Structure 1
Amino acid sequence: MDLKDTVAVVTGGCTGIGRATALALADAGVGGIAASWTRSADAAEALVADLAETGCQVLTAQADVSEDPAVRAFAGSVLERFGRVDVLVNNAGTTRPVPESDLEGLDDAVWHELLNVNVVGAFRSARAFAPALREAAGAVVNVSSISAYRAGGSSIAYGVSKAAMLQLTRNLASALAPEVRVNAVAPGTVATRWQTALHGEDGFAERAQAESRNVPLRRTSAPEHVAQAVLGLLGMDMVTGETVIVDGGKHIRY
C-alpha cells in the first residue's frame, strides 16, 4: 500500500501509541490525518502543531467510540474534510485496574465499559468508515494487547476485551474482503502515560528495569515501536486477519 497522499484516521490518536502512529503516518507521506480524542484537548492541540510542521493536513475531533452517534458524526466530518479514507487505526481504548483475584471488584459496569470501548468501539469505527475504506481499497489496523494472549494485565475484563479484538480482526478481515485488509498489533509493555497512570512513575520505572533484564531485546517498547508495526502491516498487501506482537520477544519466555 502506497501511503503517499492518502488519508488516515487514528482513534485515540492524540496521545501515546495513537500519537506516535499519527506522526509516523505523516512521515510516510500521508496527506491527511484525522485523530479522535475523548479527554485530551491539550494533546490534540499539540498534535495539530506537530503535524503542521510535516505539511500534513490534520483534523482532530472529540469523539467517544463508546457512542455510535459520536463515531458516525466523526466519520461524517472526516469525509466532509478530506473526501476519502484509506487507513483506519483503531487505537482508542480504556481499562480499569482490578486485581485478578478480586472477582467481586470486577462488576458489570467495568465489563460493560471495557467491552463497549475496546471491542464494540472498534467495530463501530470500522462500520462507520467501511464504505470509504472499500472505495479506497484501504486497510484497518486494530491495536490489541499482549493481554489477549495470557492471564494477567490490568484486569480480567481488559484481557478478555483485547482477546475479543483479535477475533474481531479476523471477522472484519473476512467481512471487508477483498477490498479492505484488516490486521492487528498486540503491544506488550509500552512506555506511555497509560503505564505511569496504572503503576506510578516509580512503579513503572521498576517494571521497565525488570524487563531490561528479562526481555530478549533487553528494553521496553516505546510508542514509536508499535507505530512501526502498524506501518509495516499497512505495507503488506497480501496479509490480512493477522496479528503482530510487539514486546521485544517477551512473550516467548512467559
Structure 2
Amino acid sequence: MELRGSVAVVTGGGTGIGRATALALAGAGCRGVVVTWSRSEADARSTVADLAEAGCEAVAERVDVADDERVRALAERVRDRFGRVDVLVNNAGTTRAVPHADLDALTDEVFHHVLDVNVVGPFRVTRAFTGMLRASRGAVVNIASISAYRAGGSSIAYGVSKAALAQLTRNLAAALAPEVRVNTVSPGTVATRWQTGLHGEEGFAERAGAERRTVPLGRTSGPGHVAQAVLGVLAMDQVTGESVIVDGGKHVVY
C-alpha cells in the first residue's frame, strides 16, 4: 500500500500508541492525518502540532466512539475536508482495573461499557468510513491486545473485548474484501501512560523489569514498536484478517 499522499484517521491518536502511529504515518508520507480524542484534548493538539511540523495536514477531532451519531458526523467532516480516507486505525479503547477473581466487582455496567468502546466502537467507526475506504481500496488496522489470547489483562471484560475485536477483524476482513484489508496488531506490555495509570510509575517499572527477564528479546515494547507493526501490515497487500503480536516474543514462552 502506498502511503504517500494518503489520508489516515487514528482514533485515540493523541497519546501513546495512537500518537506514535499518527507520527509514523506522517513520516511515511500521509498528506493528512485525523486524530480523535475523548478526554486528552491538550495531548491531541500537541500531536497535531507535531504532525504539522512534519509537513502533514492534521486535525484533532473530539469523538466518543461509543456515540454513533458523532462517529458518523466525524466521517462527514473528514469527507468534506479531505475527500477521501485510505487508512483507518482503530486505537481508541478503555478499561477498568478489576481483579479477575472478584466477579462481583465486575458489574454489568462496567462490562457493557468496555465492550461498547472496545468492540462496538471500532465497528461503528469502520462502518462510518467504509464507503471512503472502499473507494480508495484502503486498509483498517485494529489495535487489540495480547489479552485477546490469554487469561490476563486489567479485567475479564478487557480481555474478552480484545478477543472479540480480533474476531471482528476476521469478520470485517471477509465482509469488506476485496476492496478493503482489515488486520489486527496486538501489543503485549507497552511503556505508556495507560500502564502507569493502572500500576503507578514504580509499580509499572517493577512489573516491566520482572517481565523482561522472561521476554525472549529482553526489552519492554514502546509505542513506536507498535507503530512499526501498524505500518508493516499496511504494507502487506496480500494479507487480511490476520493479527500481529508485538510483545518481544513473550507469547511463545508463556
What is the TM-score with the length of structure 1 in the denominator?
Answer: 0.99
Aligned to 1:16: 16
Aligned to 2:188: 188
* Aligned residues of 1:149 and 1:163 also touching (Cα < 8 A): yes
1:44 aligns with 2:55: no
Q: 1:212, 1:175 → 2: CA distance?
A: 39
Shift in Å at residue 214 of structure 1?
Answer: 1.2
Aligned to 2:126: 126
Shift in Å at residue 99 of structure 1?
Answer: 0.0
Shift in Å at residue 212 of structure 1?
Answer: 2.0
Q: 2:155, 2:53 → 1: CA distance?
A: 39
1:233 aligns with 2:233: yes
Aligned to 2:95: 95
RMSD, aligned CA: 0.5
Shift in Å at residue 204 of structure 1?
Answer: 0.3
- Give runs of aligned pairs for residues 4-153 of structure 1, distance below 5 A: 4-153=4-153
Shift >2 Å, 4+ stretches: none
| Secondary structure of 2:103 counterpart | coil
Q: Deviations over 1:76-95 (max 9, x none)?
A: 11111101000000000000
Q: What runs of 5+ residues in structure 1 fail to find an aligned partner?
A: none
- The percentage of aligned residue pairs carrying the same residue is 70
Q: 1:168, 1:251 → 2: CA distance?
A: 21
Letter in 1 for 2:174: S
Q: 2:211, 2:167 → 1: CA distance?
A: 28
Aligned to 1:197: 197
Aligned length: 254
Q: 1:45, 1:238 → 2: CA distance?
A: 35
Q: What runs of 5+ residues in structure 2 fail to find an aligned partner?
A: none
| Secondary structure of 2:33 counterpart | strand
Shift in Å at residue 73 of structure 1?
Answer: 1.0
Aligned to 2:162: 162
| Secondary structure of 1:22 counterpart | helix
Letter in 2 for 1:253: V
Shift in Å at residue 70 of structure 1?
Answer: 1.0
Q: 1:4, 1:131 → 2: CA distance?
A: 21
Letter in 2 for 1:37: W
* Aligned residues of 1:59 and 1:78 also touching (Cα < 8 A): no
